[in-house]
A and B are shown apart, each in its own frame.
Chain A
Amino acid sequence: MTKPKKRHALSTRLWHWINVISVIVLFMSGLNISNAHRRLYWGDSGFAPEQAWLEVPRFPGWATIPDYYSLAAARDWHVVFSLVFGFSLLAFLVLALVNGHLKRDIFARAREWKPSNIWRDIREHLKFNFDHGEGKYNILQKIAYASVILVLIPLMIFTGMVMSPGMEAAWPWLTEVFGGRQSARSIHFLAAWGLFAFFVVHVLLVLASGPIKQIRDMITGGREP
Chain B
Amino acid sequence: MKRRNFLVAGLGAFLAGCNEIGKSDWFGKVVDGAQGWHRGLHRALGGGRIPMAPEYTRADLSPYFRGNGSLTVDTDAYRAAEAEGFANWRLAVGGLVNNPGVLSMDDIRALPQRTQITRHDCVEGWSAIGEWTGPQLSQILEAAGVQPEANYIVFRCADNLNGSDYYESCDMDDAFHPQTIIAHELNGESLPVRNGAPLRLRIERQLGYKHAKYLTGIDAVASLDDIEGGNGGYWEDRGYQWYAGI
Contact = CB atoms under 8 A, between A and B. Distances in A.
Interface of A: 25, 33-34, 36-37, 39, 41, 44-48, 62, 65-67, 70-73, 75-77, 79-80, 83, 163-172, 175, 181-182, 185
> In the complex, which range does the number of interface residues on chain B fall in?
35 or more
Contacts of A181: 119, 121, 127
Interface string B32-64: 001101110111011100011110100010110
B22 A171 contact: no
A165 B60 contact: no
A168 B41 CA distance: 11
Interface stretch (B98-106, B146-154, B203-211, B215-223): B203-211
Contact of A169 (B11, B53, B60): B53
B236 to A, nearest CB: 9
Contacts of A167: 38, 41-42, 45, 245-246
Interface string B113-141: 00000010111111111000000000000
Nearest to A62: B11
A165 B18 contact: no
A205 B239 CA distance: 41
A44 B207 CA distance: 15
B234 interface: no
Interface string B163-184: 0000000000000000000000
A44 B15 contact: no
Contact of A66 (B11, B18, B244): B18
B205 A83 contact: no
Contacts of B47: 170
A65 B18 contact: yes
A164 B38 contact: yes
Contacts of B43: 166, 170
Interface string B227-238: 000000001001
A171 B41 CA distance: 11
A98 B54 CA distance: 38
B30 A46 contact: no
26 contacts: A36-B124, A41-B126, A41-B127, A46-B127, A47-B66, A47-B128, A66-B22, A71-B124, A72-B235, A76-B241, A80-B30, A80-B31, A164-B42, A165-B206, A165-B207, A166-B38, A166-B245, A167-B38, A167-B41, A168-B53, A168-B54, A169-B51, A169-B54, A172-B52, A172-B54, A182-B126
A188 B122 CA distance: 17
Contact of B22 (A34, A76, A170): A76
A72 B60 CA distance: 30
B20 to A, nearest CB: 10
B162 interface: no
B5 interface: no
B19 interface: yes
A70 B239 contact: yes
B34 A80 contact: yes
Contacts of A39: 126
B126 A47 contact: yes
A80 B27 CA distance: 9
B155 interface: no
B239 A72 contact: yes
Find the residue from A25, A46, A66, A169 having the highest chain B CB count within 10 A: A169
A21 B246 CA distance: 21
Contact of B46 (A34, A165, A169): A169
Contacts of B125: 33-34, 36-37, 185
Contacts of B241: 72, 75-76, 79
A45 B60 contact: yes
Given A44-B56, A83-B37, A166-B246, A37 B15 contact: no
A61 B15 CA distance: 9
B128 A45 contact: yes
B39 A166 contact: yes
Interface in B78-128: 119, 121-128
Nearest to B41: A167
Find the residue from A39, A48, A76, A165 having the highest chain B CB count within 10 A: A165
Contacts of A37: 122, 124-126
Contact of A47 (B127, B206, B239): B127
Given A37-B122, A72-B239, A166-B206, A67 B245 contact: no
Given A44-B127, A44-B129, A181-B121, A164 B18 contact: no
